[in-house]
Amino acid sequence: MLDPDAPGSSVAIYFVLENGQDYYLRRNTDAGAIGVRALGDRTVEFRLAAPAPYFMSVMNRPDGGPQPRHAIERQGDSWTEPGRQVVSGPFEQSHRSDDRLVLRRQARYVGKRPGNVGEIAVLRSDTDEALELYERDEVDVIAARYTPRLADLMPPSTPEVELGPAGWTGYLSFDHSHAVTSNVDLRRALAHAIDRAALADVAPPNLVVATGGLVPPALQGHTPDIAPRFEPETAREHLSRSGFSGRIGLAALAEWEPIIGRVAAMWRDTLGLEIELRWWTNEEAVHLTTPWHLAPIALGGWLPGYPDPEYYLRLELHSDSRTNEGGFAYAPFDELIERARQERSDRRRLELFHDADRMAIADRVALIPLVYGRSMAFVKPRVHGWWEFGKTSSSFADLVVDERSSQA
């Protein structure tokens, strides 16, 4: 995970390990100094660089457990392919492609789980196709994450909806290296030109208009009522200070058109800017590593990898974080995050994260929170045991299906 030449996608999570960040940033080349080691066949010791009350949630991640050294050394980069991956859970891969993953219960699994599912086919599809499959009874579950449209498009006959709390955040992110969007006065102007009451008119049931900070309401550490308020005169004053006028690009997933289109209209009406909208599709999103070649302002979203404000504020905005997608860098913010990380008092720790959220969102406008999302699933009545939170859902091994279905 921490290999600087081929890091894991969630590498910054593991900076909490002693010497983990230094190794990744090549300040220390001794992998043996990283704070994790096996003390025996069944015991692993982790040494942390800072207090981490969320750490057991990190260990619940797929990349957080021990990995099969023998398989990795034997198979190389292909060790995760179907038929080669070493698994200890109830399912193993039988097929995997970009659009379809099939998991089958492995006969040698001896654990005790209450479910009766024997095979799961996970399909990637756009909204319209998913609805058709669901209506034809060819899928049992549609899991909706970032899309805002599905709740409104579902037919009235939809039997069940599992709706989680407001556990993820949708926002407008900035390319902080861009000559235009690196200007804090411009960012403040854009933030104060958004009428959040008007956004509520176009938000579907699974999205709540954001009036607080980056950390969503479902997580401890949410800071309410800090998003810049709709103040047209203030917005125009900041725009004047920025010295910017003319055209600016805004990019987003096409399914967000009702919300993003409304934001663009607000910027045109309040600030007199010309907004060039650029869209990407679900198919293009799979290969979209960065939106900055499309526009210097782009739709973004962040789901909680573990239920703690640090996951949002440090991983998204700290200048050392690999997942700092916009390149925001502000030394006082970094210092505040580091103080929060080292704080051993739970109350004081949360206070520092509140301060960091205010600094990033209300003062520096590192990004603009637009909505808090509620992960959602449409579930056939024959499937029992599904639940939703922010990122993970019920284990398939715990689900009970009343009758055999074509897909799961």
Please state, in angstroms and as integers, the Cα–Cα distance from residue 81 to each residue in 109, 115, 174, following that order. Answer: 19, 25, 37
Mode of pairing for the β-strands spanning 247-253 and 274-280: parallel
pTM of the model: 0.83
- Using only C-alpha atoms, the chain has a radius of gyration, in whole angstroms, of 23
Question: What pLDDT score does 100 carry?
Answer: 94
Instruction: Answer whether 219's CB lies under 8 Å from 307's CB.
Output: yes
Is pLDDT at 150 greater than 60 in this prediction?
no
Average pLDDT over residues 212-222: 95
Is pLDDT at 295 greater than 70 in this prediction?
yes
DSSP letter at 393?
B
The string of DSSP letters for 20-45 reads: HHHHHTTS---GGGSSEEEEETTEEE
- Rounded distance, CA 178 to CA 183, Å? 9
- At 154, the pLDDT band (50, 70, 90 cuts) reads low
- Higher-confidence position of 257 and 148: 257
- Rounded distance, CA 368 to CA 227, Å? 8
Burial class for 18, CB neighbours closer than 10 Å (0-12, 13-18, 19+): middle
Question: What pLDDT score does 165 carry?
Answer: 85
Instruction: Answer whether 344's CB lies under 8 Å from 51's CB.
Output: yes
Question: What pLDDT score does 332 carry?
Answer: 98
Question: What pLDDT score does 114 carry?
Answer: 87
- pLDDT tens string 32-72: 999 999 999 889 999 999 999 999 888 877 788 778 889 99
Q: How many residues in the chain? A: 408
Domain ranges of the chain: 11-78, 165-373
- pLDDT tens string 239-290: 999 999 999 999 999 889 999 999 999 999 999 999 999 998 877 776 777 8
Nearest residue to 252 via CA among 148, 107, 355 = 148
Mode of pairing for the β-strands spanning 91-96 and 119-123: unpaired
Under CATH, domain 165-373 is a member of which superfamily?
Dipeptide-binding Protein; Domain 3 (3.10.105.10)
- Scanning the structure block, which residue is given the tokens 């290296």? 177
- pLDDT tens string 178-212: 999 999 999 999 999 999 999 999 988 788 999 99
**Amino acid of residue 103:** L
- At 113, the pLDDT band (50, 70, 90 cuts) reads confident
Question: What pLDDT score does 406 carry?
Answer: 46
